[in-house]
Amino acid sequence: MDLSLNQKAVLITGGAGTLGMAAARCFATEGAKVGLLDLASQREDPGVVSFLAEFPEQAAFFPLDLVDETSIRECVGAVLARFGVIDAVVHNAATFHFSPVCDWGSTAPLDLHYAVGVQGPVRLQREIWKQCPSALGGSVVVISSVAGHVGEPDAFAYTPIKAAQKGFALSCAMEMSAHGGWAVSVSPGHIWGPIHRSRAEAAGLGREAYEQSKPNIQSTLLGRFLEPAEVARWIVLAASPTGQSLTGQDLRVTLGIEAGGFNRGYDTSAGGGKVEW
C-alpha cells in the first residue's frame, strides 16, 4: 500500500524513545522526512546516532524541552529552516510516575505529567500552526495509552493525563477539519522495551517466562507484549492520508486487553465453573 508519505515532513516528540524510534524508522521507510524532537541530551543516544547515519538526507534531530516555551518556539523555527514545511506531528513524548497518591508530598508528579503530556503538546501544536499555517491541513497523531480508558494501580499522575490526551486529539481534529486536516489518538497496550527487558533480566527470566509471570500481560488475548513496530505501523497509517477518515477516533492497539483478555482462561466446560440456568 502506498501511504503517500514520500517527502512529507513528519515530527515525532519523544523521538529518541523506543516507540518514537520505531515510528521514525517506519516513516523513513515510507520516504518521509523525519524530525526527531527530544531533550538535547538525547542527541547522542546510540539509537538516534544510528538512525541519523542511516537516513542522513531524510532525518534530523531537533532539541526540544516541552516545559519551556522558548525551546518550543526555537524548535519549530529550526524545523522549518531545515524542512520548509510541517505535514504531520506525532505527539509521543511522555513521562512516567507510579506511586500511591497518598504518599505524594505534593502534586509535582501530576504537574510534570500535565506539562509533558498536555500543556507542552498544546503549546507545540499552537506554535506549529502559527509558524506554518499549512500544517492545519496535515495530520496530528497523539500517543495516549490503554491506561486512558482502563485503570491502572498507583497511576494518579499517569492515567488522568492519558485520558486527557484523547481530548487533545479531538480538539485538534475539530480545529483542523475546515482545512482538510485530521487528528487521531493511538492507545497502545503494554510494549516490550528497555524497562520490561531490564525487569525480566533482574528476575532472571527470559521474555516468554516473564510474559507468563505477569498478570497484566496474560490478560491480553494473545498473552504477550506488543512489539514497538506493531504500534508504529498504526501511527504511520493514522498520519498518512489513509488516516484522514479516522479523524477524531482513538485506535486501541492493545492485543485485546479490553476485548475480554482477562477471560481468556475461563473454563466454560461442563463442571468447569459455568453456571447453568
Predicted pLDDT of residue 261: 63
d(CA 261, CA 211): 14
d(CA 5, CA 26): 11
The band of 5, judged by pLDDT with boundaries at 50, 70 and 90, is very high
Contacts of 135 (CB under 8 A, 6+ apart): 85, 86, 87, 89, 128, 129, 181
Q: Give the pTM.
A: 0.92
d(CA 142, CA 166): 7
Which residue from 212, 227, 229 is spatially nearest to 265, judged by alpha carbons? 212
Bridge partners of 62?
Answer: 37
Predicted pLDDT of residue 147: 87
The band of 264, judged by pLDDT with boundaries at 50, 70 and 90, is low
N-to-C CA span, the chain: 50
Q: Is the dihedral of CA 240, 121, 28, 88 positive or negative?
A: positive
User: In this structure, are residues 144 and 172 in contact, taking their beta carbons and an 8 Å threshold?
Assistant: no
The single residue listed with the C-alpha cell 504518599 is 103
> The domain at 9-191+227-263 falls in which architecture?
3-Layer(aba) Sandwich (3.40)
Instruction: Count CB atoms within 10 A of the CB of residue 145.
Output: 27
d(CA 45, CA 47): 5
Which residue from 111, 118, 76 is spatially nearest to 97, judged by alpha carbons? 111
d(CA 238, CA 247): 9
d(CA 213, CA 27): 34
At 36-73, the pLDDT tens digits run: 999 999 999 999 999 999 999 999 999 999 999 999 99
The full set of domain ranges for the chain reads 9-191+227-263, 193-225
Q: Beta 182-188 vs 9-13: how paired, if at all?
A: unpaired
